[in-house]
Structure 1
Amino acid sequence: MQKKDIYAVVDLETTQTSQEEGHIIQIAIAFVQNKTIINQFSTLINPGIKIPRHITQLTGITNGMVKNAPYFEEVAQTIHAMLQGTVFVAHNVNFDLPFLNTEFTRLGITPLDSVALDTVPLSQILWPTAPGYRLIDIAKFLGILHEHPHQADSDAATTAELLISILNRAQALPMVTLQLLTNLPLVLPRESKQVFADALKLNQDNPQALADYLEVIDGLAIRRFSAPAPLVQDKQAIYPAKANQKKALFGSRLTYREQQAKLMNFVEHHYNQDDLVINVAGSNALVMEAPTGMGKTLGYALPYAYLANQHEKQVVISVPTLNLQQQVVDTINDQLNSILPFETRAVSLKGRTHYLNLQSFRRALKVDEGSAALQFIKAQILVWLTETLTGDFDELNLLNPQAAFMDKLSQTANNPIGSAFYGHEFNERQHVLAHEAQFLVVNHAYLASYAHRLGPQDNQPYLVIDEPQHLPDAVIHQSRRKLDFKRWLNDVNQAEFIFSRPDEANVQDILTRIPGGRKLKNRFIESFHQLAAEIPQLETKLFRRFLLNQKEVLGNGQHDYALELPELAQFWVEQEGRVAKIHQGILDLQACLSDFLDEFSQLKNVFSIEERQALADYRRSLNLISESEKKLTLFQQDLVEFPNTSVFWLTQSLDQEGQQHLQLSGGLLHTIDYFNSRVYPHFMPVTLIGATLFTSNKSSYLYDRLNIDRDSAEVHTFDDVFDYANQSEFILVKDAVDPNDTGYVSYLAQQIDDILSHVQENTLILFNSLETIQQVYQQLQRSNVGYKNNLTILAQGITGTKGRILKRMQNEQRIVVLGANSFWEGIDLPNDKLRLVIITRLPFEQPNSIPQKAEEAFLKAQGKQPFYQSTLPKAVLRLRQGVGRLIRTPEDYGAIVMLDVRMLEKSYGKTLQHMLPKTMPQKTLDSKSVGSELVKFLKKQQSHET
Structure 2
Amino acid sequence: MAMRFVIVDLETTGNGPKKGDRIIQLGMAVVEEGLIVERFASFFNPEQPIPPFVQQLTNIDEQTVEGAPLFADKASEITAMMEGAYFVAHNIDFDLPFLQAELERAGWPPFAGPAIDTVELARIVLPTVESYKLGDLAKRLGLRHDRPHQADSDAEVTAKLFVALLDRLRRLPLLTLKQLRRLARHLKSDIYSLLDAVIAEKQQEAPTDRTVAVYRGIALKKPAFKRDGAKLEPDDDGQRLPSASFAAFYEQAPPLPLPGYKRREGQWDMMQLVYEALSTSQHALIEAGTGLGKSLAYFIPAAFFACERQERVVISTYTLQLQEQLIRRDLPVLKQIVPFTLRVAVLKGKQNYLSLDKFASFLPEPSDTYDAVLLKCQLLVWLLETETGDLDELNVSSGARLLLSALAIGEEEDGGRHHFFAQAKQRAEQADMVITNHAFLLHDLTASTPLLPAFRHLIIDEAHRLEDVAARYFGDRIDYVSFRLLTAKMAQTFTKWMEAGQSEGKDILARCQQQLEKLQFEGDELFRLLRRYALARKPARAGRCRCRFSPADEGGRMWQAAIELCWRLRDLAAALLAEAKPLLPAAMTDDTTPSASLAADLATLNQQMDALVRLLTEAEPETVRWIEADEKGAANAVRLYSQPVDLADFFADRLFIKKRSVILTSATLAVRGRFAYMLSRFGLDDFYPLCRSFPAPFRYKEQVALFVPADMPLVSAVPLGAYAEAAAAAVLAIARHVGRRVLVLFPSYELLKMTAEALKTEEADEPFVLIAQGVQSGSPAKLLRTFLQFDHAVLFGTSSFWEGIDLPGSALDALIIARLPFAPPDDPVMEAKSERIRAGGGDPFYELSLPEAVLRFKQGFGRLIRTEHDKGVVFVLDRRLTAASYGADFLASLPPLSVYEGTLSELLSIADAWLS
- So what's the TM-score if we normalise by structure 1? 0.84
Aligned pair count reads 893
1:602 aligns with 2:589: yes
CA distance in 2, matches of 1:242, 1:479: 44
Query: Conserved in 1, the CA contact under 8 Å of 2:675 and 2:691?
Result: no
| Identity among equivalent pairs (%) | 29
* Distance in 2 between residues matched to 1:34 and 1:652, nearest whole Å: 58
Instruction: Go from structure 1 to structure 2 and tell me whether the alpha carbon gap of 1:350 and 1:599 turns closer, same or farther (over 3 Å shift).
Output: closer
Matched, 1:625 2:608: no
Q: Report what 1:562 is aligned to.
A: 549
Distance 1:252 1:204, change over 3 A: closer
In 2, Cα distance between the equivalents of 1:12 and 1:588?
A: 59
The two structures, once aligned, show a CA RMSD in angstroms of: 4.2
**1:922 alignment counterpart:** 899
How far does residue 291 in structure 1 lie from its aligned partner after superposition?
0.9
Q: Distance in 1 between matches of 2:28 and 2:638?
A: 62
Q: Distance in 2 between matches of 1:404 and 1:654?
A: 27
Q: Which residue of 2 aligns with 1:609?
A: none
Partner of 2:312: 314
User: Given that residues 11 and 29 in structure 1 are in contact (C-alpha distance below 8 angstroms), is that contact kept between their aligned partners in structure 2?
Assistant: yes
In the other structure, the counterpart of 1:475 is 470
97 and 933 in structure 1: CA distance in 2 versus 1, 3 angstrom threshold = same
Inter-partner Cα distance in structure 1 for 2:451 and 2:33: 60
Q: Secondary structure at the match of 1:9?
A: strand
Report the equivalent of 1:121.
Answer: 120
Q: CA, structure 1 residues 679+923, in 2 after alignment: closer, same or farther (shift >3 Å)?
A: same
Q: Is the 8 A contact 2:8 2:155 kept in 1?
A: yes
What's 2:358 paired with?
360
> In the alignment, which of 684, 704, 713 is matched to residue 728 of structure 1?
704
Say if 2:238 is the partner of 1:238. Answer: no
After superposing the two structures, state which structure 1 stretch, 201-210 or 489-498, moved more.
Answer: 489-498
Aligned counterpart, 2:194: 195
Q: Is 1:651–1:662's contact at 8 Å kept on the other side of the alignment? A: yes
Partner of 2:444 in structure 1? 450
Q: Which one of the candidate residues 260, 268, 288 is aligned to 2:267?
A: 260
CA distance in 2, matches of 1:672, 1:692: 19
Partner of 2:732: 753
Structure number with bigger Rg: 1
**Partner secondary structure for residue 882 of structure 1:** helix
Q: Is contact 1:359–1:413 with CA below 8 Å preserved after alignment?
A: no
Give the Cα separation in 2 of the matches to 1:79 and 1:489.
Answer: 51
The alignment partner of 1:887 has SS state of: coil
**1:19 Cα offset (Å):** 3.7
2: CA distance, partners of 1:706 / 1:764: 32
Alignment of 1:762 with 2:741, yes or no, is yes
Alpha-carbon distance in structure 2 between the residues aligned to 1:265 and 1:414: 42
* 1:712-765: CA deviation from partner (whole Å, max 9, x where unpaired): 222222233100010000111223112231221111111111111212421110
The one-character-per-residue Cα deviations of 1:864-920 (angstroms, maximum 9, x if unpaired) are 111111111100100011111110001111111011111122221111111111x21
Alignment of 1:776 with 2:762, yes or no, is no
Q: 1:845 aligns with which of 820, 823, 827?
A: 823
Question: Residue 301 of structure 1 is aligned with which of 291, 299, 302?
Answer: 299
1:97-147 superposed Cα distances (whole Å, 9 cap, x missing partner): 443444444444444433332222112211122222222221111111111
Deviation at 1:189, TM superposition (A): 4.0
Match of 2:881 in 1: 903
Q: 1:196 to 1:633 in 2, by over 3 A?
A: same
Indicate if the aligned counterparts of 1:810 and 1:829 stay in contact, CA closer than 8 A: no
Would the alpha carbon gap of residues 826 and 52 (structure 1) be closer, same or farther in structure 2, given more than 3 Å must change? Answer: closer
Partner of 2:159: 160
Between the aligned partners of 1:676 and 1:921, the Cα distance in structure 2 is 41
| Equivalent residue letter for 2:466 | L
Deviation digits for residues 811-852 of structure 1 (CA, Å, limit 9, x no counterpart): 542221101111111111111111111011110111224332
- State the distance in 1 between where 2:513 and 2:373 align: 34
Match of 1:867 among 842, 845, 849: 845
Deviates more, 1:130-139 or 1:758-767: 130-139
Determine the structure 1 residue equivalent to 2:768: 791
1:498-518: per-residue Cα shift (whole Å, max 9, x none)?
668895348x85648xxxxx9
Aligned residue identity for 1:702:
M
How far did residue 578 of structure 1 move? 12
CA contact (8 A) 1:457 1:682 kept: no
| Per-residue deviation, residues 680-720 of structure 1 (Å, max 9, x unmatched) | 34422211112111113456211011111366222222233
Secondary structure of 2:159's aligned partner? helix
Query: 1:65 and 1:654, CA in 2 relative to 1: closer, same or farther beyond 3 A?
Result: closer
Moved more, 700-709 or 583-592: 583-592
Contact 1:239-1:303 within 8 A present in 2 as well: no
The superposition leaves residues 286-313 of structure 1 with CA deviations (integer Å, 9 ceiling, x where unpaired) of 2221111111111111111111112222
Q: How does 1:344-383 map to 2 (within 5 A)?
A: 344-383=342-381
Which whole-Å CA distance do the structure 2 matches of 1:292 and 1:44 have between them? 46
The gaps in structure 1 that reach 5 residues or longer are 277-283, 513-517, 569-574, 605-611, 940-946
Cα gap change, 1:39/1:83 in structure 2, threshold over 3 Å: closer, same or farther? same
SS at match of 1:161: helix
The answer (yes or no) to whether the contact 1:90–1:119 under 8 Å persists in 2 is yes
Contact 1:15 1:52 in 2 (8 A): yes
CA distance, structure 2, for counterparts of residue 152 and residue 47 of structure 1: 15
Q: Which of 119-128 and 74-83 deviates more? A: 74-83
Question: Do the aligned partners of residues 268 and 485 (structure 1) sit closer, same or farther apart at CA in structure 2, a change above 3 Å counting?
Answer: closer
**What does 1:94-113 align with in structure 2 at a 5 Å threshold?**
94-113=93-112
Is there any run of 5+ residues in structure 2 with no aligned partner, and where? 227-231, 556-561
Please, what TM-score do these two structures have when normalized by structure 2? 0.87
Q: Distance in 2 between matches of 1:522 and 1:55?
A: 58
Kept after mapping to 2: 8 A contact 1:288/1:717: yes
Give the Cα separation in 2 of the matches to 1:487 and 1:833. 38
Provide the rounded CA distance (Å) in 1 between the counterparts of 2:494 and 2:371. 27
Q: 1:684 to 1:777 in 2, by over 3 A?
A: same
Q: Check the 8 A contact 1:451/1:682 in 2, yes or no.
A: no
**Distance across 1 between alignment mates of 2:263 and 2:221:** 39
Residue matched to 2:233: 228
Partner secondary structure for residue 878 of structure 2: coil
Partner SS for 1:847: coil
Per-residue deviation, residues 73-118 of structure 1 (Å, max 9, x unmatched) = 4443333333333333222344444434444444444444333322
Looking at structure 2, the residues matched to 552 and 71 of structure 1 have their Cα atoms a distance apart, in angstroms, of 61
Q: For residues 148-196 of structure 1, give each alpha carbon's deviation from its aligned partner in whole angstroms, at most 9, with x where no partner exists.
A: 2222322222122112112211111111111111111644445344222
Question: Structure 2 vs 1, CA of residues 619 and 64 (structure 1 numbering), >3 Å: closer, same or farther?
Answer: same
Letter in 1 for 2:745: L
Question: Partners in 1 of 2:53 and 2:584 — Cα distance?
Answer: 62
Cα distance between partner residues in 1 of 2:665 and 2:371: 43
Q: Indicate if the aligned counterparts of 1:27 and 1:44 stay in contact, CA closer than 8 A.
A: yes
Deviations 1:778-836 (A, max 9, x none): 22111126x42x21110001113211011233454222110111111111111111111
Equivalents in 1 of 2:453, 2:361: separation in Å?
Answer: 42
Which secondary structure state, in structure 1, belongs to the residue aligned with residue 477 of structure 2? strand
Which secondary structure state, in structure 2, belongs to the residue aligned with residue 890 of structure 1? Answer: coil
Change (3 A) 1:795 1:847: same
- Contact 2:709–2:904, Cα closer than 8 Å, also in 1: yes
**Structure 1 letter corresponding to 2:853:** A
User: Which aligned pairs between 1:564-713 and structure 2 lie closer than 5 A?
Assistant: 597=584, 600-602=587-589, 612-631=592-611, 643=621, 645-649=622-626, 665-698=641-674, 700-709=676-685, 712-713=688-689
CA distance in 1, matches of 2:168, 2:609: 48
Residue identity matched to 1:301:
F
Give the aligned partner of residue 206 of structure 1. 205
